[in-house]
Structure 1
């Protein structure tokens, strides 16, 4: 059980909040402590201190309200956010995260996304907005062959993703998670899976929720069988992000390329911070960037 953290003062405050909300006494456990986010479990409650530089005003409150209307799909925060030492803090019910040593729930994730994408979009739902993370990460790259490969791939993306022009109107606008991967799922007590982390949830193109597995598949990191399980389950559940029968890459090309570049930039930055060489999956993402830049601008 992990209780060490680089944020000991904040940890103590979150534990105090957790003890006041949990149904039974329990020892605290750090579930996540990266990128300025600290998540602590206390019994049946999870207490999360969100990133200090994220916007947590009215749109976030609307996302909390919206998540509360989707209990069969999303785990919503318990009550209104708190402010602790200048940080936004939320509480939620605990669920078991995905265990990478077990069979991965690709079908369950696909069905949850298809269900979310099939919900009606409330008029007050906040916009997911442009995928700004890729441009932000690329701007942080230093010098080197891998960094250059990522930058060359980045310039093939549409100008609106690079932040140079306004985003065009979405052809298909649905309710989307906005940052989906298997780490955004938990299994609740009845054995069913739910989505978590609603900070990016809102109106947007549902193809972006499929972009990360599509990017990993196109880079050769995600095995073809896993990709087919995911895509097949999404289509079988009536998911609207891709055509039911035709080529899915007509919808997924730009989102998948963007996420491949984003993941590659993250890999380079992380390896540089840790003063190590890229591992095999990370190098595969750089190789994908080389192929993207060689193909040119397909947008």
Structure 2
């Protein structure tokens, strides 16, 4: 990313425009679909989605993963127009993807469990190496990049201390599932149902080789910590995936790490909205007490 330039919609709009100009794609009528870890735009001129990221390495990995999944005919996002490598604009990576014409209807917990089960059965890629999984690779960078004055210094210090404590606890975990390729950020929001009914996996930048408990525990955290998933739906997920992470003794550590990741992920966009800033401060307050109910809003 350009030095001293925060990742804002102003920056990503300009980068998206420059990248599309460089490959002769029209941006007339383009719309911002989502802004978070990445900025996602849909072009009006072609069925193409433009993804502006924060890391060139992550974007390059994402293109490798997309081709690997396509080789296994796994239902996932596909690269568009033979753009097999990122276009880099002043250090900011841009990738181009086929637009998935999404239909209405929520992805069920059972469908999510089935997709995750099938993903975890794939053999590792042979033409490139997935990086070793890291549970909190972006926390320190996010805290370091926080604009001055957005968070109280005591809160930033608390988050750094929590990161250090959880890093130590993670190293002591004993995993029970065999390691392998994992999505790294697997949740129902990273699935889309196409018009033909097929469910496709998206957001491939966090793929790694590591403990499958990490992916498997996402819905478990959303169920146990936040109440975003009912007991009935959760049991359907467990039946489809074939393993209940809540019953594993390492789950509390994974839950705490995910809560910290979710908080710092949201904190990097708190300058975009007063609602986001309020939610971030609430989450940090909750993290100071393991017993506090997590009445968190989904973003």
- Please report the TM-score for the alignment, with normalisation by the length of structure 2: 0.70
Name stretches of at least 5 consecutive residues in structure 1 with no aligned partner: 294-299
What's 2:138 paired with? 133
Correspondences of 1:277-292 after superposition (within 5 Å): 279=278, 283=282, 286-291=285-290
Aligned to 1:109: 112
C-alpha contact 2:110 2:237 (8 A) present in aligned 1 = yes
1:157 to 159, 166, 183: 166
Counterparts of 1:147 and 1:191, CA distance in 2: 44
Name the count of aligned residue pairs: 273
Alignment match, 1:254: 253
TM-score between both structures, scaled by the size of structure 1: 0.70
The one-character-per-residue Cα deviations of 1:186-237 (angstroms, maximum 9, x if unpaired) are 2223122111121122321112124444334343x23350x652x4344323
User: What's 1:297 paired with?
Assistant: none
Aligned CA distance change for structure 1 residues 90 and 273 (closer, same or farther; 3 Å): closer
Match of 2:297 in 1: none
Q: 1:46 aligns to what?
A: 49
Task: Report the CA distance shift for 1:250/1:18 in structure 2 as closer, same or farther (over 3 A).
Answer: farther
Could you say if the C-alpha distance between residues 154 and 31 of structure 1 is closer, same or farther in structure 2, counting changes exceeding 3 Å?
Answer: same
Give the conservation status (yes or no) of the 8 Å contact 2:174–2:250: no
CA distance in 2, matches of 1:270, 1:28: 21
1:232 to 2:231 alignment: no
What is the aligned-residue RMSD (CA, Å)? 4.1
> For 2:129 and 2:103, how far apart are their aligned partners in 1?
28
Deviations 1:149-184 (A, max 9, x none): 5455444414275xxx89999962122111223332
Q: 1:211 to 1:144 in 2, by over 3 A?
A: farther
**1:140 CA displacement:** 6.0
Q: Return the alpha-carbon distance in structure 2 between the equivalents of residues 71 and 61 of structure 1.
A: 15
Compared CA separation, residues 228 and 18, structure 1 to 2 (3 A)? farther
CA contact (8 A) 2:53 2:59 kept: no
Q: Distance in 2 between matches of 1:290 and 1:214?
A: 20
The 3-state SS of whatever aligns with 1:118 is coil
Q: Distance in 2 between matches of 1:39 and 1:237?
A: 33
Listed as ranges, the gaps of 5+ residues in structure 2 are 1-8, 293-299
Question: 1:88-107 to 2 correspondence within 5 Å?
Answer: 88-96=93-101, 103=106, 105-107=108-110
Answer whether contact 1:47 1:89 (CA < 8 A) is retained: yes
Measure the CA separation in 2 of the matches of 1:172 and 1:90: 32
Deviation at 1:267, TM superposition (A): 4.7
Distance, in Å, in 2 between the alignment partners of 1:222 and 1:98 is 26
